[in-house]
Amino acid sequence: MEVKIAKIAGFCMGVRKAMDIALSCAQTTQKPIYTFGPLIHNPSALDLLASKDIEILKHVPQSGNGAVIIRAHGVPPETKMQLKYAGFYIIDATCTRVIKVQMLVRHYAKKGFHCLVIGDEGHPEVIGIMGYGGEKAILVSNEEELKKIDALNLKDYIIVAQTTQDYERYDKWCNEITARFPGGRIFHTICDSTHKRQREAKRLADEVDMVVVVGGKKSANTKRLAEIVHESGKEALAVEDERDLDLERLKKFNKIGITAGASTPEWIINRIVEKIGSI
């Protein structure tokens, strides 16, 4: 059996920065320390943070103390203010690429532009971005919502994307929108790392019989990698860690590829490689 690993897999720049900040805080910052929501979408990484006594804060309490780390996905500006008023010290680990999208939306919303945000409904990054646009922010997460924007009769508007969106879908939807409403400004805010990771997943799928996609079940970018493998005509096995591997199923294939989402730690990828290598 031949095993090929994607050239781009595992932690992206934003996730690595957030993890580094959190682990550094565990050593230098007085407890209690929280992350607002799960820092990243990976159970093994969250277990590591929990072992360092970093807790998850799910809601803003009326009062509190200690430090709160804003995760890589970011939060709406109102949430930051609420945390400060509650008495927390804020440590912002928002990915710089996400901050760019937030600032674009805030800038154009203040100028009266509609801000179309192409992303996944309910995703924390999207919730944060929408918060910067207020009433001017409009979420487009599926074909049905794409049709509904006809009622808005758009004139002055911009289009941005959640940083982990599928590049081809974003390009297609932007072309559809601007064809119906000329004059809109398109900002290519999909993270370059995401684009390269998706392109690499497609290349890998073309070279192997099946692909193991490693990442958290709640990770949007990991799900998208599995979709890309399926679209390439190959079977994808989504796993969170080595315990999810079906070795009997894998024995049927001669060439197996391994790719991983942006929130997947390298130690998990290494365990996957080691277990598959034992077949």
Sole residue written with tokens 């509609």: 114
Cβ(275)–Cβ(244) below 8 Å:
no
pLDDT recorded at residue 119: 96
CATH 3.40.1010.20 placement within the chain: 2-10+192-277, 97-186
pLDDT per residue as tens digits for the range 79-104:
999 999 999 999 999 999 999 999 99
pLDDT recorded at residue 167: 84
Model confidence band, residue 40 (pLDDT cutoffs 50, 70, 90): confident
Catalytic machinery residues: 125
**CA dist list (Å): 142 to 49, 146, 170:** 34, 6, 11
Beta bridge partners of 255: 2
**d(C-alpha 32, C-alpha 39), whole Å:** 16
Which two tokens mark 59? 């809601």
**d(C-alpha 186, C-alpha 201), whole Å:** 26
* The architecture CATH gives domain 13-95: 3-Layer(aba) Sandwich (3.40)
pLDDT per residue as tens digits for the range 135-163:
999 999 999 999 888 888 898 999 999 99
pLDDT recorded at residue 74: 96
Domain 2-10+192-277 class? Answer: alpha beta
Name the pTM for this structure.
0.85
User: Could you count the other beta carbons within 10 Å of the beta carbon of residue 178?
Assistant: 16
| Fold classification of 97-186 (topology level) | Cobalt-precorrin-4 Transmethylase; domain 1 (3.40.1010)
pLDDT recorded at residue 153: 82
CA angle centred on 71, ends 120 and 143, rounded to 5°: 5
